[in-house]
Chains A and B, each alone.
Chain A
Amino acid sequence: MITFEHVTKQYADGTVAIEDVSFTVEEGTTTVLVGPSGCGKTTTMKLVNRLEDPTEGTVYRDGTPLSEFDRIDLRRNTGYVIQEIGLFDHMTVGENIATVPRLNGWDEDEIDARIDELLELMDLPPESYREQHPPELSGGQRQRVGVARALASDPDVLLMDEPFGALDPITRESLQDEFLKIQAELDTTILFVTHSIDEALKMGDRIAIFDVGEVVQYDTPQAILDEPKNEFVEDFIGSDRPLKKLKVTQVEDVMSPPTEEVATAGGVADATAPVQSDGGSTVSPLEPTDTALSALSRLVASEDGRLPVVEDGDVVGTVSDEDIRRSNAGDKP
């Protein structure tokens, strides 16, 4: 748990990066700091591993003020991923990942095993990537190594500053998805900085929206979309707020109970079979964990007004245009 209590940071040249910021990052969650450039989100993040120290106020980790920690120990227990990645080009991928474990004095055997484990986790087979040097890798692969390096000594806190910002949209999307999966397996507290509200809504359990040096709204993605606190937040989310809401809503939250019609034996067989879409490619049936947005897009393309939702081969509900509209208006079905 990380707590910011009335934190102000003024740089030596007089610029105030953040002013009187207070919020708490819960253990094991991902909190996204989002806002336009120059809003102080990166400074806020750097306070957590003491790359910066606050001018006023206190940052606590699990109730202990950060000033009581040794800077070096604190950093070795805090993962750090940045947009520029900052891999050490003169070391191999394996050596890069081994950085913090080596600093912490682990056994070489332990380190070896950890490198392989992390490379597997990042979907980079150790036998082909371990001995490579970073310049030989693609941008996406380099950032995977960056994340692996940050996770190497299993830190309690992971700081990520626009980690996927420099990647092309397709690589970014797939890395986000993979990271969400990895994140579900970790119990790390993550502080994620981005300027993209879409990324914030996708990655965050909670979102802190920054505007020039202050936190304007700190809430769950749902709550921010449902009730933007002021015009700034509304503008920041953009005019497609209803669609963004559908993106953070899961089908199981909007679906109706299965109807007689599709629940009949024939119906089920039909529903669970892969559907042929217009393009001729096969589309698997809707699952409860799909987003409401993808349900809507399938409804638009489909001739039926109501689609079955399938989990492990059983129809667990149906979803219609009407269900989605109702959820977007705010009421649960």
Chain B
Amino acid sequence: MLSSVHNWLAYVDFAVEHSDRLLVATLEHIEIIAFAIAIAVPIGVGLGFLITFDDRLATAVIWLAGVMMTVPSIALFGLLIPYFGIGAPSVIVALVLYTQLPVIRNTYVGLNDVDPAALEAGEAMGMTRLQLLRRVQLPIALPVIMAGVRNAVVILIGIATIGAFIGAGGLGDLLFDGISYVRTEMIVVTTVILSLLALAVDYAFSISEQLFRLNNGEQVESSATMRLLQRVIS
């Protein structure tokens, strides 16, 4: 009992003492992920859209993206270093590859999920292929695509840690240091920050997904935050 309280105090002490380093590492971590997502989403959504035209291509692309996810991250970093060098660029490319499955798959499913009768009606009313995409398919698919992105970001937060192994920085640095110097408090505090980061991002995305659904007139079980947001908006 006493020792657990002691440990807990040690964690807080560590966090306070190293708050500068923790903050810098967290920001680096977020920066890497933001870069990766900014590159990954346009590629994934584009691919997801392209494969709606050809079922065989869709199967192949989604299979490939799935295979990507099974490659161990360390191995992938190793393969990328000759092309992108040691450091953040290699990690960002790897992260982009890891996010493709959820983003492509959800885009594909979301776009295909649109009622065929609505598409026929849209076409028959004289919408061009692009208008159909922009006015009908994308708005309906958006919440599903958001769910894919949300999935991808949460995966990235974990994988980006390993990027520290090839010098990308971020919270992974602290984890590896903690392991090397056997400093439990360092490992625990970093892990807690990583988890909180993942939970916060997940929550933020779930809110935006709900907003998109509400905007589409769907019935959504609103969370407390949603209700607060609605009150603020109205």
Report A242 CB to chain B, min CB distance, Å.
39
B71 at the interface (CB under 8 A from A): no
Q: Is the CB of B217 within 8 A of A51?
A: no
| Contact status of A99 and B124, CB under 8 A, knowing A82-B117, A86-B117, A90-B216 | no
Encode contact with B along A71-93: 1 for CB under 8 Å, 0 otherwise.
11111101010101111111110
Cα–Cα distance between A274 and B135 once the two chains are bound (Å):
55
Q: Is the CB of B140 within 8 A of A103?
A: no
**Most A C-beta atoms less than 10 A away, residue of B122, B124, B139:** B124
| Contact status of A76 and B118, CB under 8 A, knowing A89-B216, A90-B139, A92-B217 | no
Interface size on B, residues (CB 8 A): 23
A100 at the interface (CB under 8 A from B): yes
Contact residues, B96-141 vs A (CB, 8 A): 115-128, 131, 135-136, 139-140
Instruction: List A contacts of B136 (CB < 8 A).
Output: 88, 90
Encode contact with A along B152-179: 1 for CB under 8 Å, 0 otherwise.
0000000000000000000000000000
Find A86's partner among B118, B128, B131, B218 (CB 8 Å cutoff): B118
Find B125's partner among A84, A90, A103, A136 (CB 8 Å cutoff): A103
Q: Is the CB of A73 within 8 A of B118?
A: no
Q: Is the CB of B217 within 8 A of A89?
A: yes
B interface, by DSSP: helix, strand, loop or mixed? helix
A172 at the interface (CB under 8 A from B): no
Q: Which residue of A lies closest to B121 (CB)?
A: A86
Q: Is the CB of B121 within 8 A of A103?
A: no
A249 at the interface (CB under 8 A from B): no
Q: Is the CB of B120 within 8 A of A82?
A: yes
Report A79 CB to chain B, min CB distance, Å.
8
Q: Is the CB of A103 within 8 A of B127?
A: yes
Encode contact with B along A125-151: 1 for CB under 8 Å, 0 otherwise.
000000001011000000000100100
Instruction: List A contacts of B139 (CB < 8 A).
Output: 90
A-B contact count (CB 8 A): 76
Q: Is the CB of A72 within 8 A of B117?
A: no
| Contact status of A100 and B217, CB under 8 A, knowing A82-B121, A85-B117 | no
Cα–Cα distance between A86 and B117 once the two chains are bound (Å):
4
Q: Is the CB of A51 within 8 A of B115?
A: no
Encode contact with A along B193-229: 1 for CB under 8 Å, 0 otherwise.
0000000000000000000000111100000000000
A49 at the interface (CB under 8 A from B): yes
Contact residues, A87-125 vs B (CB, 8 A): 87-92, 99-100, 103
Find A76's partner among B117, B125, B135, B218 (CB 8 Å cutoff): B125
| Contact status of A88 and B118, CB under 8 A, knowing A103-B131, A133-B217, A135-B217 | yes
Report B128 CB to chain A, min CB distance, Å.
6
Q: Is the CB of B126 within 8 A of A75?
A: yes
Instruction: List B contacts of A92 (CB < 8 A).
Output: 217
Cα–Cα distance between A73 and B127 once the two chains are bound (Å):
10
Q: Is the CB of B217 within 8 A of A80?
A: no
Report B161 CB to chain A, min CB distance, Å.
38
Q: Is the CB of A75 within 8 A of B125?
A: yes
Report A164 CB to chain B, min CB distance, Å.
15
Q: Is the CB of A51 within 8 A of B126?
A: no
Q: Is the CB of A80 within 8 A of B121?
A: yes
Q: Which residue of B lies closest to A146 (CB)?
A: B121
Instruction: List B contacts of A71 (CB < 8 A).
Output: 126
Cα–Cα distance between A51 and B125 once the two chains are bound (Å):
10
Q: Is the CB of B118 within 8 A of A51?
A: no
Cα–Cα distance between A20 and B125 once the two chains are bound (Å):
28
Q: Is the CB of B125 within 8 A of A80?
A: yes
**Most A C-beta atoms less than 10 A away, residue of B117, B125, B131, B139:** B125
Q: Is the CB of A100 within 8 A of B126?
A: yes
**The 9 residue pairs across chains A and B that have the minimum distance between CB atoms:** A133-B217, A86-B121, A84-B117, A86-B117, A75-B126, A76-B126, A90-B216, A80-B124, A86-B118
Interface residues of A (CB under 8 A from B): 49, 51, 71-76, 78, 80, 82, 84-92, 99-100, 103, 133, 135-136, 146, 149, 159
Interface residues of B (CB under 8 A from A): 115-128, 131, 135-136, 139-140, 215-218
